[in-house]
Every structure is written in structure tokens, then in C-alpha cells.
């Protein structure tokens, strides 16, 4: 059973999003996603400054098994990326909620409410399992 | 639901994530594929390979039949216990399967792949016409591979004195019976180790004992990265019926002499051998971050294009490696297209890690 924190929002494509106090949105991949991927060996992150639309490809996570695209859960500008993942991609497996991928300055914060809550995402993850 | 080995329930009990492999429900990993990989390189691990197909060949013409059937020559097996690796080719020189054949005192034991079972057996039976041979599939056997630098020592501690003595005495690529077990010093990892064929009913007990003694169960995921580092082909990926063994790094498995031995595919291979345009299977190493994958395009400047046949992350080397079929004139550098971008790669002999040590 994968861990799905109740305080986050989720995309059906398995990213989590957290609205921070400063109005930015932090993005990572879910525990269910890291488990399905297996050992993560490489993470390709978007460039800081890039404008992303909700649902647009933002990067790639590669496990030993396969490569998977990561999508922006909401629209906005990339304001930071987690450089630690370049040297230690396995952190994604160890703590998928502590090791974020990138932060966005959302262009439309209302998009967050359109994302799944924990219960909604649990249904997606279960159907996927 | 797929086919199940006698160890299916035990895999589930050990927490395996199961996947379909050639119609079989097999363990992909039991937690971390990378950890399992390291376990085999550093100590040892145990794989369920009961899905593989064992065919015993007996009869007065067993040798001449296999000399016709296989590109390698079983006459090279000088005494019971010796084994050789061979391609089984079609008339066009394509690889129907790759296999290991052991000489036994009663005939030959042939081990072919799981995913190719039906066509292999049909082919072997059709070729048997006119030969006094009997083919018997040994679905009653299970097979465990225990691989790693400490594999033989670990297993020897857990089995009867007679089996321990045999394990101690076996030379690489040798396999002999002991009671109702057949113990071979062979494998698919580039490490020392054993493959044990035994009655299916005993397999769960043996696996339980091995795991109980601290030998980690290893899934197909690590099996694939281990064999890739060892530069060993995977049938269906690195070669198939449309690929010549000459283009699959299997030239060493073709016994050209004696020249009068007319094995299936010989005429086609001879023509291919004379053809300088025959591509070759090489190793690739990506020095930058990223992962090489099967079917990515390889570009060799001024020479032509090729294709990756197997690619993954190498846990031992900490970078991505691949096997690729490229033009014969390929030198030491090439480029690979990953998601629309070209990455430089180093071209090496397709043998990356052996006995735990990097070779590149």
C-alpha cells in the first residue's frame, strides 16, 4: 500500500503538488509512482525560467526499467529545480515526498483545486496497481 | 494468468513483484533491482530459472543429430560433464535460439529459452527425422541458479557431502549429475556460480534453505542488468531468426571445422562471412547522464546508422551501457539519439564487467 499524504494534491499522471506559504507550488512524484518505476537512476529536470502549461512535459524520470515523462500539474514558470536529484536520483525512491523535482510560480493558482485530493488519487493508484 | 514455476507461491511469500516473461509469471524483483544486482556481484543470490526449457536427447544418433542441428560442434565435448554454448540456426543462418548443451553419459541435455519453447521443440522434432534419437522435454525439473563469488561456497554448506564435493570439483562450464540433481557451473551473470536442475517437488525446499541461509532471491530485472554487464545476449532482443550469429557477437560459437560437417545454416553463414557489410554487435558506454535503451538509433559519422538492441543502467559502473548492432566499419565513437537529442557514446567490446571487475 503506497503512502498518499492528505495535505497534497495529485495529478492522475502521478505527480504531487504542494502550495507553499509564498504562493509557489512544489512538484514531485508520488510514492506509488516511484514504486512502480523501481530504482530511479536518472532525473531530467526542466530549465529554470521555463513556462509550462498544466499537463505539459516538464522532465523525465528514468528507472532501471523504463523512462517516464513528468508533467507540470499546474501552469506556471519554473523557479527552482532540485539539483540534488542529479547526483542522487535514488533519493526519489527513498523519500518521494521529501525529494521534490521542481517549483513553479503558478500562473493560475485555481488549477490546484482541479487536481485530485488524496482520496481521488488513491482511486487512480489502485486502478493502476 | 501466465504459466507458473513450482516456486510461484514462494516468490509471492518473499514479496516479489511479478511480471509476465515469455508467458510465465516471474519475479521482476523482491524490493530493489539495483540492490539485488549488487548482491550477486558482491556475494551471491538465487534465481528461479525453472521457466527455461530442458530437453534431453538420447539415442544412437544423438551426436550426429546435434552436429546437424547446432552451429557449434558437440563432438568438441570430450567427456561427460562438458558443456558448450551454441546457436540453433535456420537455413537462412538466422538464430532460432541460443542454448547450452551438456554431454551426459546417457546422451545430451539441452537447455533452451522459455519464450521460444514451442518453436524450438517443433524445430528440433522436425530436424530429428531420419535420426535415431528420442527427444524428451523435462518439464518435471525445476532449475535454480545461484550466482556470485560466494555462490559455490554457500551452496556447498547446505547440501549433502557428495553434492558439496561435486560443487567443489566442478570446473567452469561443467555439469554433472549427483543423485536426482544435475549441478552445473554455468550461469548468465558473468560471475562464478551454479545452475541446479532438480525434481520440481524439491525446488521450494531448496530455495527456502538458500534464502534461510541468507542468500538473497534475485528477480529477472537484476538478471537482465547482470547479463548485460557481462555482455551476454538476450534472445529476442540482441538476436532472433532474422539476425546472423555473425552480427550478434556469436562468431566464436560457430564451429567451421571440420568443413564437411553440414550443420543447418552453414551455407548461408559462409556467404555472410564473405560479406564485409555484415554488421557487428558492440558495446556502448554513455559517459553523460541518461539511459540507453533498446531501439534507440546509433549514428556513426561517415559510416552509417545502427540500433541499440539492449540498453540499461549499469549498477556496477554507475552509468548507462548498451549492446548495439552497428556497421562493420564503426570505430571508437558513435552517437545515440535519446528523446530527440544526440549523445556521444564510447564503442567498446561487448563485455563490461566480469567477476565483479569493470572491464571498460
A76 part of a folded domain:
yes
Q: What is the pLDDT of residue A128?
A: 77
CB count in 10 Å sphere of residue B132? 12
Kindly state whether residue A2 falls inside one of the protein's structural domains.
no
Nearest to A74 by CA among A114, A111, A113, A40: A111
Query: In this complex, which of A38, A44, A86 lies closest to B33 when CB atoms are compared?
Result: A38
A95 part of a folded domain? yes
Q: Do B29 and A38 touch (CB under 8 A)?
A: yes
Please tell me the predicted confidence (pLDDT) of residue B275. Answer: 86
> In this structure, is residue A3 part of a structural domain?
no
Residue A129's pLDDT band, with cuts at 50, 70 and 90, is low
Rounded to 10 deg, the angle between the B117-127 and B62-69 helix axes is 120
Of A2, A37, A41, A44, which to mutate for an interface test with B (greatest number of B Cβ within 10 Å)? A41
Residue B195 annotated as part of some ligand binding site? yes
Of all residues in chain A, the one with the smallest CA distance to B318 is A41
Model pTM?
Answer: 0.94
Q: Which of A64, A67, A86 shows the shortest C-beta gap to B289?
A: A86
Check CB contact of A48 with chain B, cutoff 8 Å: no
CA distance B85 to B70: 10
Selected for mutation to probe chain B from A65, A67, A81, A83 (highest B CB count within 10 Å) is A65
- pLDDT given at position B276: 82
How many contacts does A have with B, using Cβ atoms within 8 A?
Answer: 38
Chain B residues whose CB is inside 8 A of the A85 CB are none
Burial group, residue A41, by CB count within 10 angstroms (0-12, 13-18, 19+): buried
A93 to chain B: which residues are within 8 Å by CB? 32
Chain A positions touching B33 (Cβ under 8 A) are: 38-39, 64-65
The rounded distance, in Å, linking the Cα atoms of B28 and B15 is 11
Grid cell for residue B269:
553463414
Backbone phi, then psi, for B350, in 5-degree steps?
-75, 65
Whether residue A128 is contained in a domain is answered as no
Residue B277's pLDDT is 85
> Whole-angstrom Cα distance, residue B34 to residue B47?
15
Cα A31–A34–A36 angle (5° rounding)?
A: 105
Q: Which residue among A39, A44, A62 places its CB closest to the CB of B34?
A: A39
Which residue from B221, B291, B339 is facing A41, i.e. has the nearest CB? Answer: B291
Q: How far apart are CA A98 and CA A39, in angstroms?
A: 17
Encode pLDDT of A66-99 as tens digits. 899 999 999 999 999 999 999 999 999 999 999 9
**Euclidean distance between CA atoms B89 and A100, whole angstroms:** 51
In-domain check, residue A86: yes
Give which of A1, A64, A90 to mutate to test B binding, by max B Cβ within 10 Å: A64
Shortest Cα–Cα distance, B56 to chain A (Å): 35
Residue A1 lies in a domain: no
For CA atoms A81, A82, A85, A90, the dihedral sign is negative
Contact A64 B290 (CB under 8 A): no
Q: Which domain holds residue A81?
A: 9-123
| Predicted pLDDT at A1 | 62
CATH code, A16? 2.40.50.100
Asked if B291 has any chain A CB less than 8 Å from its own CB, the reply is: yes
**B281-300 pLDDT, tens per residue?**
999 999 999 999 999 999 99
How far apart (Å, rounded) are the C-alpha atoms in residues B135 and B121?
9
- The pLDDT tens digits for B103-148 are 999 999 999 999 999 999 999 999 999 999 999 999 999 999 999 9
The count of domains in chain A is 1
B109 near A CB under 8 A: no
Residue ranges for chain B with pLDDT beneath 70: none
Which of B221, B289, B339 is closest, CB to CB, to A65?
Answer: B221
Amino acid at each position: 500500500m503506497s503512502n498518499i499524504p492528505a495535505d497534497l494534491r495529485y495529478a492522475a499522471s502521478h505527480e504531487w503538488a504542494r502550495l507553499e506559504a509564498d504562493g509557489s507550488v512544489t512538484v514531485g512524484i508520488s510514492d506509488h509512482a516511484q514504486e512502480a518505476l523501481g530504482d530511479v537512476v536518472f532525473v531530467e529536470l526542466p530549465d529554470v525560467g521555463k513556462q509550462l502549461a498544466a499537463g505539459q512535459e516538464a522532465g523525465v524520470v528514468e528507472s532501471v526499467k523504463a523512462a517516464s515523462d513528468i508533467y507540470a500539474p499546474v501552469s506556471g514558470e519554473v523557479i527552482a529545480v532540485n539539483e540534488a536529484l542529479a547526483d542522487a536520483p535514488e533519493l526519489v525512491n527513498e523519500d518521494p515526498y521529501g525529494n521534490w523535482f521542481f517549483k513553479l510560480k503558478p500562473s493560475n493558482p485555481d488549477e490546484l483545486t482541479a487536481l485530485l485530493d488524496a482520496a481521488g488519487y488513491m482511486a487512480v493508484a489502485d486502478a493502476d496497481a | 494468468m501466465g504459466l507458473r514455476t513450482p516456486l510461484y507461491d514462494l516468490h509471492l511469500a518473499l514479496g516479489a513483484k511479478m511480471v509476465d516473461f515469455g508467458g510465465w509469471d516471474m519475479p521482476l524483483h523482491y524490493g530493489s533491482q539495483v540492490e539485488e544486482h549488487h548482491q550477486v556481484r558482491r556475494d551471491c543470490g538465487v534465481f528461479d530459472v525453472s521457466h527455461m526449457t530442458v530437453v534431453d536427447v538420447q539415442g544412437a544418433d544423438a551426436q550426429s543429430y546435434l552436429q546437424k542441428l547446432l552451429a557449434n560442434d558437440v563432438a568438441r565435448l570430450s567427456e561427460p560433464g562438458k558443456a558448450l554454448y551454441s546457436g540453433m540456426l535456420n537455413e537462412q543462418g538466422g538464430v532460432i535460439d541460443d542454448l547450452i548443451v551438456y554431454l551426459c553419459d546417457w546422451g545430451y541435455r539441452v537447455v533452451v529459452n522459455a519464450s521460444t519453447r514451442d518453436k524450438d521443440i517443433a524445430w528440433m522434432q522436425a530436424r530429428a527425422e531420419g535420426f535415431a534419437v528420442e527427444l524428451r522435454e523435462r518439464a518435471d525439473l525445476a532449475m535454480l541458479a545461484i550466482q556470485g563469488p560466494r555462490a559455490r561456497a554457500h551452496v556447498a554448506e547446505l547440501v549433502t557431502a557428495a553434492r558439496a564435493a561435486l560443487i567443489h570439483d566442478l570446473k567452469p562450464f561443467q555439469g554433472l549429475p549427483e543423485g536426482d540433481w544435475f549441478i552445473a557451473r554455468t550461469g548468465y551473470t558473468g560471475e562464478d556460480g551454479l545452475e541446479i536442475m532438480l525434481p520440481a517437488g524439491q525446488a521450494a525446499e531448496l530455495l527456502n534453505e538458500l534464502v534461510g541461509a541468507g542468500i538473497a532471491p534475485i528477480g529477472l530485472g537484476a538478471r537482465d542488468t547482470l547479463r548485460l554487464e557481462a555482455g551476454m545476449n538476450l534472445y529476442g532482443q540482441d538476436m532472433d531468426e532474422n539476425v546472423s550469429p555473425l552480427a550478434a557477437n556469436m562468431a566464436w560459437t560457430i564451429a567451421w571445422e571440420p568443413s564437411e560437417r553440414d550443420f543447418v545454416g552453414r551455407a548461408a553463414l559462409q556467404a555472410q562471412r564473405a560479406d564485409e557489410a555484415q554488421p557487428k554487435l558492440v558495446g556502448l558506454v554513455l559517459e553523460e547522464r541518461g539511459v540507453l535503451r533498446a531501439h534507440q538509433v546509433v549514428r556513426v559519422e561517415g559510416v552509417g546508422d545502427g540500433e541499440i538492441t539492449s540498453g540499461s543502467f549499469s549498477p556496477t559502473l554507475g552509468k548507462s551501457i548498451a549492446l548495439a548492432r552497428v556497421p562493420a566499419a564503426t570505430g571508437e565513437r558513435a552517437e545515440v539519439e535519446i528523446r530527440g537529442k544526440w549523445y556521444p557514446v564510447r564503442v567498446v567490446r561487448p563485455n563490461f564487467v566480469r567477476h565483479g571487475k569493470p572491464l571498460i
